[in-house]
Structures are given as C-alpha cells and as structure tokens.
Chains A and B, each alone.
Chain A
Amino acid sequence: MLSTVRSKRLSLSEWLKTITFYEILVGMKATLSHVLNYRPITLQYPHEKRTLPDNYRGMLALLRYDDGTEKCVGCDLCEAACPSRVIRVVSAEVPGEPTKRYSKEYYMDMTRCLFCGMCVDACPVDALGMTREFEWAVFDKRQLHLNKQQLLAIGDRSFPIREKRLELQHPNVAFFNVPFTHVPPKPN
C-alpha cells in the first residue's frame, strides 16, 4: 500500500500570512502598543526596596548581649558545621577565668558563603544571626573577608534590640561554660 502521509500543504490564508509576515506584524503591533501605553512593571530597585521576609538569610553577623558583651564562647561548632569552610575561630581563655572561653579571633570569608544558615543552627548560644542585609557588592574580594569587629558591627546595626545575658535569663538555659554562682530569681 502506498503511504498516504504527505507533507502538510499550506492553505491559501496560511500562505498569504507567510508572505506578508503577518505574525511578525502582529508582534510588532503588540510592542508598539506598549510604547503608546507605557506602564513600567519592574521594581525600581535602588529607589524602591521590597520588604524582605523575616526569615531572609542575608549577611551573617555576630551578636552581643544587651550589656555589650559578646555572645560567642569560641566553641568552634559553627566552624565544624559550615559546609564551605567559611568560618575560622581562634578561641582563648578569658584571662583570670580558667573555665570561661571566648573567641579571640573570628573570621568569615563571605566570598565562599552560600548562606545555608547551618552555622546559625549549630550555635549553642545564639551568637550568630542572619541579617536582612544583601547589598554587599564590593570592588575588592578581600573586603569580604570579615573579622570579628566587622561581624559584631553588622550585628550591632542589624539587631538593635538584644537579649539579656545568659545568666540573667532563665536559670536552666545557661549551663554551658558560664560559671555563675548567683542564680537570679524567675521572672514570676
């Protein structure tokens, strides 16, 4: 049997549309109508800013208590949790207090950070936080290698309302390495 499949033949109207560029003209009419009826639909970013959700994972920051002392106890858990090895912590003893440690140096190489938030999850004392800052384009990549002072400054400006010291909170919260002798009373 002969095959009955044939190549599709254009009907007269289709053929006319092809040679007169009908589809292209329709498209050009659409674009021209947008010139005459111009309504910008994009967000004018530097002038208008979208309100970010509360759980937005932006720039990382180190936090302080409300009396200005650093939360970080230099336990290195964030360093261990970080998949991209962004964080480097050098911890040391608090002078005169052999059981108490703090982070002597704290570095974050934000060129490698992928903002997964695992360091924040890992931190036992909530010393790390993710801010809503995202405008961190710089001309020199070395500026993204942040030290402790810079990270604390980011925390200071992004979290103006801070927590109380651990030992001033609930008595059962703070048992890591804070050798408190005086247990404050419960709030109520």
Chain B
Amino acid sequence: MSELGLRLAISLTQIGAIMGIVIVTVLLLTLAERKVLGWMQDRMGPMEVGPYGILQPFADAIKLFFKEDIIPAGANKLLFTMAPIICLIPAFIGFAVIPWGPNWTFEIGGITVKPFVISDINIGILYILAFASLGAYGIIIGGWASNSKYSLLGGLRSAAQIISYELNVGLSIIGIVILAGSLSLVKITDAQQGWFWHWYLFALPAPQIFAFVVYVISAVAETNRVPFDLPEAESELVAGFFTEYSGLRFAFFFLAEYANMVLVSCVAAALFLGGWNAPYPGTILELLGLPSLAWIENTMWFAVKTYSFLFLFFWLRATLPRLRYDQLMKFGWKVLLPIALANIVVTSIAVFFTQ
C-alpha cells in the first residue's frame, strides 16, 4: 500500500469513528433532552417506544423519513435543498480538531498517527470558529430560498442573533489563546495538565471564569437553545427561517443544532475544563500499573465534561423562559461584549507582567 493510501485509510478510519460517536450522541441527545425535561418538570417524557422509551429517536427518524416533503411554489429549489446541508456540514466539520484523548503518537508504516485527534492543526480554534460561522449562511439561505416573507425575516433575525453571539464566543476564547500562546486545541489541552486548578477556568495568573460565563451564555445563544431560541419561537412567532421546511429537511436543521451543541460542549471541555485531563495529576490506571489503558480514563474524563456541559443545556432549557428579541441583542452587545473585551485586557496585562 502506498503511503498516500495508508494515510487516507487511517484518516478515514478516524473520521468514521468520530462521525459514529457524534451521530450516536446526537441521536441519544434528542432522547436524553426529552427525558431530562420530563424529570425536571415532573412529567414522564417519552415512555412508549421500547423499554423506557429508548427507541424513541429511531421512531422519530422513521416518522421524519416518511413525512411529506414539500418545496413551496416559487422557491429556489437548489438553494432550498442545499440550506439544511450548509447548516449541517460546518457542525460536523469542527470535530476534526477536537482532541478527545491523550496526545499520543505512534508510527504505522512510517506515518505518525495521532489516534485521538483527526487533525492537529495549529489554528484549531480559528478553524472551528471559521466553520461555525458558515452555519449562518445555511439559515439565511434557507430563509431566503423559501419564497416566504416569514422565513426571510426569520432567517435575518436568526442570522443577526448567531453573528452577534459568535462574536462573543470568539472573544471569550481569546483570553485562553493568550494564556496558552497557541491556537492549537491539542497544545491548549496539554497545557492544562495537573490538578484541576491548572485548568484555564481557574488557572493563574488570569482565571477565565468570566470568559467561561460569557462563553456558556454565548454558546447557548449561538446554538439557538432556550432561553435564546428566538429562531424557533414556536409559541409567539411560529418559527422563523424553517417555516416552509418539512420532513427530513426540517430534521437536518435540528440535527445541525444538536451537532453544534456537541461541538460547543467539546470546545468548552477542551478549552476551559482541561479537556481529557483528569482533575488530578496523571491517571489512576497508570498508578495501578496499566499505563497502556490510561486513554480509557482520559477519554472518559473528556466525555464526562462534555456531557455535563450538555446537561447544562437541558437544565437551562427546563428552567428559563425565552428572552425578548431586543433583550437578546442588548444582552449580547451591551453586557457580554464588554465583559469579554475587559477579560482580554485583564488577561493580557496579567500575562504581560508575569511572563
């Protein structure tokens, strides 16, 4: 096998593994969300399909497959079809740079393989932010191509929201980039090894707690989740950009939303919560004399952090009512943006005087 073929095979294996994990997570998230909301609001949640309702995601998928697929008259068919895909692809592409296990390398046929990250590029965060912002195009195109004024206005409204809050996501991350001196997610995670107070959430000289709060709020808003789910707003605005979408196309928008949630949680875990690092130095399995199995513990910690963050999404959804649109914009531009900018200044000064 040629070197290129081997390289391709390794990459495809990694991509397949990550895709599998992400798609299964997204499927389970739809069930988990309804269950958690049920528990928090003293309801049962889905209980009918399968034992304890665990087959509900599959039932939903089958139902959406067989729903009538409507393209409105006068819609731009090409763009109308492409919009959900434009939304979906950036959400999945971001997972290429997420380090979900220890930074190991080994050689297969003269090629250095990093098993726990598909691609360790040195502009990892920039890459994620760049592709995440493409999702706004999917929304605005979907709104425009529907040939409906509700959808157009909804799309513009959603795009304005997503862009405003993406700004805050980007700015809240800059403090960590300054601390780590790198844009690579692998390097940033590696720099947080040790006790949990070495995580950038608590790390000296500039704890990123305020940046974390800004990041959490902006991430919730950017993924269109409650209390910032103005794009959906099913009770007062009757949906926005996807008013005309039905069946599987509609499902793709929500698949993208859930994939975005997972991505945002992975980024939060990697940047603020130490990624795959345990809250104590090293791993327990290493102390037990099983260093070759330490990756299990490390990936488990990454999963725990990611899923805790995802639980926070559900928790917020069960608790908070929706914001008004002017409150949403005011909060993003007049509260979160100054905090994020101040955090950058404070972090820069702290780093300047300590290093």
Asked whether, in the complex, the Cβ of A31 is within 8 Å of the Cβ of B318, the reply is yes
Asked whether, in the complex, the Cβ of B43 is within 8 Å of the Cβ of A32, the reply is no
Asked whether, in the complex, the Cβ of B43 is within 8 Å of the Cβ of A42, the reply is yes
B8 at the A interface (CB under 8 A): no
Alpha-carbon distance between A24 and B316 when the two chains are bound, in angstroms = 9
Asked whether, in the complex, the Cβ of B43 is within 8 Å of the Cβ of A40, the reply is yes
A39 at the B interface (CB under 8 A): yes
A19-46 residues at the B interface, CB under 8 angstroms = 24, 27-28, 30-32, 34-35, 38-42, 44, 46
Alpha-carbon distance between A35 and B317 when the two chains are bound, in angstroms = 14
Q: Which single member of B39, B44, B48, B316 contacts A35 (CB below 8 Å)? A: B39
A-B pair number, CB within 8 angstroms: 37
- A35 touching B320 in the complex, CB below 8 Å, given contacts A41-B42, A42-B43: no
Residues of A within 8 A of B36 (CB): 35
Alpha-carbon distance between A32 and B311 when the two chains are bound, in angstroms = 11
Asked whether, in the complex, the Cβ of B40 is within 8 Å of the Cβ of A31, the reply is yes
B250 at the A interface (CB under 8 A): no
Residues of B within 8 A of A39 (CB): 42
What does the 1/0 interface line of B31-61 toward A look like (CB < 8 Å)? 0000010111111100110000000000000
Residues of B within 8 A of A35 (CB): 36, 39-40
Interface size class of A (residues with CB under 8 A): 10 to 19
Residues of A within 8 A of B47 (CB): 44
What does the 1/0 interface line of A100-124 toward B look like (CB < 8 Å)? 0000000000000000000000000
Residues of B within 8 A of A28 (CB): 315-316, 319
Residues of A within 8 A of B43 (CB): 40-42
Alpha-carbon distance between A32 and B315 when the two chains are bound, in angstroms = 8
CB of B3 to closest CB in A, whole Å: 52
Residues of B within 8 A of A34 (CB): 39-42
Closest to A35 in B: B39
Asked whether, in the complex, the Cβ of B42 is within 8 Å of the Cβ of A31, the reply is no
CB of B223 to closest CB in A, whole Å: 18
Residues of B within 8 A of A46 (CB): 48
A30-83 residues at the B interface, CB under 8 angstroms = 30-32, 34-35, 38-42, 44, 46
Asked whether, in the complex, the Cβ of A32 is within 8 Å of the Cβ of B40, the reply is yes
Subset of 17 A-B contacts with CB under 8 Å: A27-B320, A28-B316, A30-B319, A31-B40, A31-B318, A31-B319, A34-B40, A34-B42, A35-B36, A35-B39, A35-B40, A38-B42, A40-B38, A40-B43, A42-B43, A42-B44, A46-B48
Residues of B that sit less than 8 Å from A by CB: 36, 38-44, 47-48, 315-316, 318-320
